Structure 1
């Protein structure tokens, strides 16, 4: 397709998008919303509503205001006066994510932008197509399969320990923990997920591929508003017309996303081609690869060959799963590890107690799955960090609006703007709904007055009765960190295992202290750290030194 043709197509897409926006704006003026009586903060802009507050890289204060000021539900304003229903009340979230999940499907912009950036995968499909993909992937993310992969996790973590030991030697050194955790997460998902080695972890300088992927969250945050126009691009095959149009968008964040997607797609295609060739030569050839045939993609490819025609995934989907697996496993878990080490640096007493638990249990040398997952303080530290510092802090469930009119029940009535009590909410078709995952995890009505505080010890005694009674619909430990229902994070056991293995190895060898450089945690879809300034590239400098304890070998 010529440049002129692409330009004409872009003009047509912009015209159609503008027309649709104008129609929605006019409808807001002439049709009174059924949500007018729901309390919420004032709009800061007619063009953006509260969207910039919601999506700003430093939006933490706004989310804190919402959870402190509103009873589990708040009405926000979207662009040009449109309605956004912000929800963090557990019963309402259960209806949104579980009971009526096919009415409250994820936003079209979210699905479409993921498709253009990552290809066809769990993050970019809906309905029956999404269910088919999950059905194929569920077995390889089961605890049973995780038990077989734990030696691969430990092997990579031990390599990381040797690499950092070479940097630290006999004195304290300041290291970029974000870079090291990202490289480690990439190598773990490479070996255990794809049967492929990305990074030997032997040199200080990261692989070019890992460096490019670490820029994804920064680019995603900068493109937060621009991503909302993607539903109006033509629906086309990945790396086709839509991708070409994205390359022409004069926006730094969008172009950076395109660059990352190209790098991801190329490497995923190369790995897929290698695996497909190995499978053609039988199990012996697969066993010779890095994952020895036990990695997620080798098992998935075998299962796909054996599946019936209607359940089988096409090549684009298989490559797309690889891209999403690489990116999701790398950024979310590595940043969670960065937050845990930061909190432990701020609480050296907890750091030392956790170190003693790890060394006494022999977790640094290697434990089986069940023993590692049942270390009480290690579990408490991971749970509390995942509670207070949700990596995906919100989820736009219906970016293009609910599929039909629906009534949303509430656990407790709320007082409307006019003073009346509201027991349930009529949500009209095409309403944008945002699930406040972070705020459900730290709502004082559930967790108590210390809900904002990082206190691992809360998990070493019974939780508040309100938490159990609320029946939070998340798949993990009364939390919304890994979502719930049909769109729950399929790899949350993989993430838990990775965090615990890496922490076991690092804390047995090293002590961690905060750097003097200011660190900013950016709200960019997935929370990530930057050093020195808000919105900068991913970086988390920390002071690291060898642990001198008697029990350390």
Structure 2
């Protein structure tokens, strides 16, 4: 009976989606305001360009083919619906900042995030999102980072010790994705939510939470078509009823996702209750510098309008762990990989780290100000994040029709100049972060090359003139506007601490197998196209 009901509900949902798509199909081809925007021919009447846009090796499609059409490109989605690909700086400012309330995350992403993590920063919109962001801004301040830095060092030294034990007999090939994943999870665990997920010992068994969390995106990725049903399915019955339906779903990934979501929620809830209990004690030993503890403590003195509920704080825990784990680990892997391929720059960075002035107390670890004052370390981080953005594309959907101006007019299909676009409500807009970070009109003719030295001299005037809305270093890696990455300074500090410790102790060189980077939700390394995530490097202990 339950299976029959589920099939009926899914069938109804599919019918709704197909009906909407057919309506959109006629509207698109008869009266689409984007019909004069150039773009590549579609390869599939059903999926349009979606197979290319989300292909594991879609680098050339994003960085070369689409760039050849200009800074705004018309693509096709399911059943021919309009998709607008944008790298124009003026359009990005309009979409992410001027009309930030109009252009929001696609409803299917918002509802998916609610299912995965609850009502946190990644799944809220409008006034609720602004309130949560306003509260969270306070705990990502530079002052808070200075308090957290000793925690960073404590975690990374454990990684250093374990790697040292493996290297007593000379050079060893290590999967640095494993080590960076474990390290970044422990960093966000300790500094973000005040718990330890991993001892970082060589023989430590995988933490169940980490194993579960790392399955969320791989399990969700094959369900792109199903995700279009989510905004409709979440309106059916109670959460308990929907959980029951997910448990008997015909797709194994859905059933597994349900188990993982419930496990992660129960774990987050248990940790949260423990933190509240600890912080409620009278003795000051319960105080902690982690982000969730700070939010719990500050809630007591916040005005009622800014208070986050228990459910919202639990949702922030899952959000912090997800957003602060994978992105940082792949950014660190990319930095180590590119340094392994460029040994001269690796040695230059190592020399800067080893010669950096320490405090008068003889501390080996650099303070926040000392790390920030190292020009080549800063240059390596900025250049790697520019050229190799972990998040290659971001999606927005206007809630109502909007006019988007272009700072660089493009030639239309009818050979006329287009200096503004009308974007209809519901149109998928793709922000090409990786593409705009490599735009030669902004960064110069060497924009597609990794040159950290560019940050040691004045940048071209075109960088400032572009006025990109990004929150970090004139680039779109951490996006911009009201939904930009709130923890970008946190991530940058993590990267600098990890690099300062590991490069002072180890030398990194390419392993025998070449590394391939796959364009998933986050750029992910493997030893073959679409292979299991892995990044082996030859690691040598320095004397």
What interval of TM-score do these two structures reach, taking the shorter chain for normalisation?
over 0.9
2:123 is the counterpart of 1:128: no
2:137 is the counterpart of 1:142: no
Residues 115 and 238 in structure 1, CA contact (< 8 A), matched pair in contact too: no
Shift of 1:455: 1.2
Query: Partner of 2:122: helix, strand, or coil?
Result: helix
- 1:387-432 CA distances to partner (integer Å, 9 max, x unpaired)? 111111111111xxx2111110000211100101111111122221
CA–CA distance in structure 2, aligned partners of residues 510 and 237 of structure 1: 56
CA–CA distance in structure 2, aligned partners of residues 317 and 283 of structure 1: 27
Query: Partner of 1:307: helix, strand, or coil?
Result: coil
CA–CA distance in structure 2, aligned partners of residues 98 and 485 of structure 1: 5
Shift of 1:491: 0.6
CA–CA distance in structure 2, aligned partners of residues 387 and 250 of structure 1: 42
Shift of 1:24: 2.9
* Counterpart for residue 489 of structure 2: 493
CA–CA distance in structure 2, aligned partners of residues 326 and 447 of structure 1: 33
CA–CA distance in structure 1, aligned partners of residues 164 and 244 of structure 2: 45
Matches within 5 A, 1:273-312: 273-282=273-282, 284=284, 286-287=286-287, 293-312=288-307
CA 1:46–1:282: 2 relative to 1, 3 Å: farther
Please, which of 297, 322, 339 is the counterpart of residue 334 of structure 2? 339
Unaligned runs of 5+ in 1: 288-292, 549-553
* Counterpart for residue 329 of structure 1: 324
What RMSD over aligned residues (CA atoms) do the two structures have, in Å?
2.1
Residues 176 and 333 in structure 2, CA contact (< 8 A), matched pair in contact too: yes
2:25 is the counterpart of 1:12: no
Residues 71 and 408 in structure 2, CA contact (< 8 A), matched pair in contact too: no
With normalisation by structure 1, the TM-score equals 0.92
CA 1:142–1:343: 2 relative to 1, 3 Å: same
Shift of 1:66: 4.1
Residues 441 and 480 in structure 1, CA contact (< 8 A), matched pair in contact too: yes
Residues 182 and 210 in structure 1, CA contact (< 8 A), matched pair in contact too: no
Shift of 1:529: 1.6
CA 1:78–1:15: 2 relative to 1, 3 Å: same
Which is worse superposed, 89-98 or 364-373?
A: 364-373
Query: Partner of 2:476: helix, strand, or coil?
Result: coil
Shift of 1:43: 0.9
Residues 57 and 518 in structure 2, CA contact (< 8 A), matched pair in contact too: yes
CA–CA distance in structure 1, aligned partners of residues 58 and 254 of structure 2: 21
Number of aligned residue pairs: 536
CA 1:321–1:510: 2 relative to 1, 3 Å: same
Query: Partner of 1:149: helix, strand, or coil?
Result: helix
* Counterpart for residue 464 of structure 1: 460
Residues 119 and 311 in structure 2, CA contact (< 8 A), matched pair in contact too: yes
Residues 157 and 502 in structure 1, CA contact (< 8 A), matched pair in contact too: yes
* Counterpart for residue 310 of structure 2: 315
* Counterpart for residue 374 of structure 2: 375
Which is worse superposed, 40-49 or 447-456?
A: 447-456
2:414 is the counterpart of 1:418: yes
Query: Partner of 2:486: helix, strand, or coil?
Result: coil
* Counterpart for residue 538 of structure 2: 543
Residues 138 and 490 in structure 1, CA contact (< 8 A), matched pair in contact too: yes
Shift of 1:214: 3.4
CA–CA distance in structure 2, aligned partners of residues 318 and 271 of structure 1: 11
2:427 is the counterpart of 1:431: yes
Shift of 1:254: 4.4
Query: Partner of 2:404: helix, strand, or coil?
Result: strand
Residues 88 and 408 in structure 2, CA contact (< 8 A), matched pair in contact too: no
CA–CA distance in structure 2, aligned partners of residues 51 and 257 of structure 1: 23
* Counterpart for residue 401 of structure 2: 405
CA–CA distance in structure 1, aligned partners of residues 461 and 477 of structure 2: 20
2:480 is the counterpart of 1:480: no
* Counterpart for residue 40 of structure 2: 41
2:202 is the counterpart of 1:207: no
Residues 114 and 120 in structure 2, CA contact (< 8 A), matched pair in contact too: yes
With normalisation by structure 2, the TM-score equals 0.94
CA 1:372–1:405: 2 relative to 1, 3 Å: same
Residues 411 and 418 in structure 2, CA contact (< 8 A), matched pair in contact too: yes
* Counterpart for residue 551 of structure 1: none
